[in-house]
Amino acid sequence: MNPGDITAILNAMVEGVMLVNGNGRVVLANPAARDMFHWPWPVEGRHYLEVVRQPDIAAQFAAAIAGEARPPAEIELERDKRRVYTARAMPMPTERGGGAVLVLHDITDLKHADQVRRDFVANVSHELRTPLTAIRGYVEALSEESPPPADSKKFLEIIARHTTRMERLVRDLLRLARLDARQEPLALSRLPLETVIAGVETEMHDVLALKQQTVVRSFADGADLIDADPAKIHDVLRNLVENASNYGPERSAVEIQSERTSSMIMISVSDRGPGIPNEDLPRVFERFYRADRSRSVDPGGTGLGLAIVKHLVELHGGHAIARHRDGGGATVSFSLPI
C-alpha cells in the first residue's frame, strides 16, 4: 500500500487519528481529529502537550510512548462539552521509531441511546410498583376471608406468588437503573467475612432448610477480612448463595471459599448442580440471561441477580467470573481490592 492510499483512508475515517513519534512530536492528524479538537492551524511537528489539553489523552499518550497500552478512556473535549468520545493510544513498534497512535471515536449518540434505555427502564419500573402494590393488597384482603372456597384460595395463592415475583423483578430493575446511573455510593469499612456470611445464612435459613442444604466456609490465611460496603457485599453474597441453593440438589453444600493475593481477595461460591456449558460461561452476567440448556430447574428468579452482582463488585473495583467447579457444578467468584 502506497502513502497516497494511506492518506485517502485516514481522510475518509470518521474516527480521529493522531500519530506522534518517540519524542512526543505530532507526525500526522487526520481531518476528523482536527475537527474534534477544532485546530485551525497545522499541528505537525509540535509536541502533543502543546495541542492537546485533555489530561486523559495526555496520560494515554505518555503511557503508549513508554510502551504501555492502557484501556480506552471516556472523555469530553474542552471545546465541545456536548460530545463524548472514547480515546485509546497504542504504542508503535520500536523498530519503526516508537511513538504512539491515538484513535478518537465519537460515542455521543450511543451514550444518548443508552441513557434513553436506562430512563425507560427506571420509569417503567416505577410505574409498575403502584399497580403491583394494589394487586397485593386486594389479594391479601381476599385471602383473609374465612373460609375462602378451595378454588379461590388456590387461585389467590398463584396470584400472590406471581405478584411477589413481579415485585422482585421491578425492585431488581430499579437497582440496576441506580447502579447504571452511579447513584449508589460506597461506604467502605473493614469487615470480617464470617460476619457477612452469617448474616446471609440467617436471612436465607428457610430457603436452605427447605432443601436441607448447608453452607460450608473455607478462608485462607489473611483472607478473612475484607474492605467493602457492608450492605452491598451482603447483597452480592446473598445473590450468589441463593443462586447456588436454587441450582444445587437437596442435602448438598453451598461452598464459600476465600483466597488472597498481594492486592486482591478472591471469594468463590460453588454449587453441586448441573453446571454451566462452556459457551454460556461468558454470558451468565448478562441481564435476563439463563443457561437453561444446562440447568434442569426453573429457579423462579428474575434473571438479574448475577448482573447486579457484577455491577456491585465492579463498584468496589473488583471483577466477577463464572467457571466450572471441580467435581461438577458451577463456581462464581469475585475479587475485592485490599
Domains and CATH numbers, the chain: 3-106 (3.30.450.20), 114-180 (1.10.287), 189-337 (3.30.565.10)
Least confident of 87-91, 124-128, 131-135, 197-201: 124-128
**Structure confidence at residue 302 (pLDDT):** 66
Residue 294 has pLDDT above 60, yes or no: no
Q: Provide CB contacts within 8 A for 296, sequence distance 6+.
A: 274
Task: Give the pLDDT band (50/70/90) at residue 335.
Answer: very high
**Structure confidence at residue 297 (pLDDT):** 46
In angstroms, rounded to a whole number, what is the distance separating the alpha carbons of residues 269 and 3? 56
**Structure confidence at residue 301 (pLDDT):** 62
Residue 275 has pLDDT above 90, yes or no: no
Q: Could you read off the pLDDT of 70-80 as tens digits, one per residue?
A: 888 888 886 66
pLDDT, mean of residues 81-89: 86
**Structure confidence at residue 296 (pLDDT):** 42
pLDDT, mean of residues 173-192: 86
Mean pLDDT (the chain) is 85
Residue 298 has pLDDT above 60, yes or no: no
**Structure confidence at residue 145 (pLDDT):** 67
Q: Could you read off the pLDDT of 136-165 as tens digits, one per residue?
A: 787 787 777 666 677 677 777 878 877 887
Least confident of 24-28, 70-74, 308-312: 70-74
Task: Give the pLDDT band (50/70/90) at residue 295.
Answer: very low
**Structure confidence at residue 213 (pLDDT):** 94
Least confident of 11-20, 204-213, 301-310, 317-326: 301-310
- Our CA angle for 206, 209, 213, nearest 5°, is 130
In angstroms, rounded to a whole number, what is the distance separating the alpha carbons of residues 2 and 6? 7
What does each C-alpha distance from 228 to 82, 97, 236, 331 come to in angstroms? 35, 46, 11, 21
pTM: 0.62
Strand 264-270 to strand 320-324: parallel, antiparallel, or no bridges (unpaired)? unpaired
Residue 1 has pLDDT above 70, yes or no: no
Q: How far is CA 326 from the centre of its chain?
A: 26
In angstroms, rounded to a whole number, what is the distance separating the alpha carbons of residues 270 and 333? 9
Q: Could you read off the pLDDT of 52-72 as tens digits, one per residue?
A: 888 898 999 999 998 888 888
Percent of the chain with pLDDT over 70: 92
Task: Give the pLDDT band (50/70/90) at residue 117.
Answer: confident
Percent of the chain with pLDDT over 90: 38
Residue 238 has pLDDT above 50, yes or no: yes
pLDDT, mean of residues 260-269: 94
In angstroms, rounded to a whole number, what is the distance separating the alpha carbons of residues 332 and 307? 12
pLDDT, mean of residues 189-201: 95
* Residue 170 and residue 125 in contact, taking contact as beta carbons nearer than 8 Å: yes
Residue 260 has pLDDT above 90, yes or no: yes
